[in-house]
Amino acid sequence: MSLTVRVSIGLIAGLLLGFIISTSHSPWLMRVPYFFDPIGIVFVNTIRVAVIPLVVSSLIVGVGSGGNDVRKIGKVGRRALVLVLSMLLLAAIFALAVASPLFAHISIDRSIAARLNDGIPMRETAQAASPAFAQWFSDLVPSNIFKAAADGALLPLVVVSVAFGLALTRVERTRQASVVQFFHGIADSFLVLVSFVVKLAPVGWNCKCKYHSQRAWEFEPQGLSLFTSPLSQLFLLRLRC
């Protein structure tokens, strides 16, 4: 059985178990997901801690070791863009596929919805679309790469990594080789870590989905959003491997 099939089985089983537990209204069963959630948290955190160092180091190695080979550098850049877009697309598709049928069967009291809307501050309607694009464009180059890494802003880190790799091609050969070897070692080390994470993915997702599926069926929307992003990151890591 392939890894993709095992991950899918673990994901679906976790969602179904969460639904069954939520609809059972059994006090004993309602406590079961809380015992599995710490395992899922460790699994998801391991994915998150591996994504950024692996992507950044791999890009620097790929671009920095390309020298003046424009085709090789372009290939690395295209692959990075495809990986990022694939991650975003997978998260969006998964959220739509799960959230749409899920919330279609949930009845919401109009008075509760009105109170929620009143509690949300309205954005200024005068804000134009162009400043939003300008903000997005300016955010592509973060003022603090460590803050961007902590916030999980992958696209700005990709831009900085490619720029750093291009600058590295202009450095003196011996120093360039030292820096490339350093990041090569980081990439290889995280690949070993990722290989363990990928093998444990069916178990990790099953534990995570039990808890958050239960929360989602109890109409806590953040229950879904908390594992759609890590799922897309796992897909990115799988592509990288």
CATH 1.10.3860.10 given to domain 3-102+138-240: yes
- 31 has a pLDDT exceeding 90: no
3-class DSSP assignment, residue 105 = coil
pLDDT band at 181 (very low <50, low <70, confident <90, very high): very high
Nearest to 55 by CA among 143, 146, 187, 151: 187
Tokens of 104: 């279609």
For residue 182, the model assigns a pLDDT of: 94
For residue 221, the model assigns a pLDDT of: 46
Tokens of 42: 């460790």
User: Cα separations (Å) of 89 from 93, 228, 232?
Assistant: 6, 11, 8
* Low-confidence winner among 15-29, 99-113, 115-129 (lowest mean pLDDT): 115-129
Through-space distance between the first and last CA atoms of the chain, rounded to whole angstroms: 18
In the chain, the amino acid numbered 98 is V
Q: Is the pTM of this model over 0.85?
A: no
Helix (H) or strand (E) holding 56: helix 27-64
- 94 has a pLDDT exceeding 60: yes
Q: How far apart are CA 144 and CA 162, in angstroms?
A: 16
Average pLDDT, the chain: 69
Q: Residue 114: exposed, middle, or buried by beta-carbon count in 10 A (0-12, 13-18, 19+)?
A: exposed
User: Cα separations (Å) of 7 from 24, 64, 190, 202, 206?
Assistant: 26, 35, 21, 4, 8
Q: What is the pLDDT of residues 33-62, one digit of tens each?
A: 677 777 777 777 887 788 888 888 888 888
3-class DSSP assignment, residue 68 = coil
Q: How far apart are CA 223 and CA 209, in angstroms?
A: 9
Domain residue ranges in the chain: 3-102+138-240
- 167 has a pLDDT exceeding 50: yes
3-class DSSP assignment, residue 125 = coil
Task: Give me the DSSP letters along 136-193.
Answer: HHHTTS-S-HHHHHHHT-HHHHHHHHHHHHHHHTTS-HHHHHHHHHHHHHHHHHHHHH
The stretch 121-143 carries a mean pLDDT of: 65
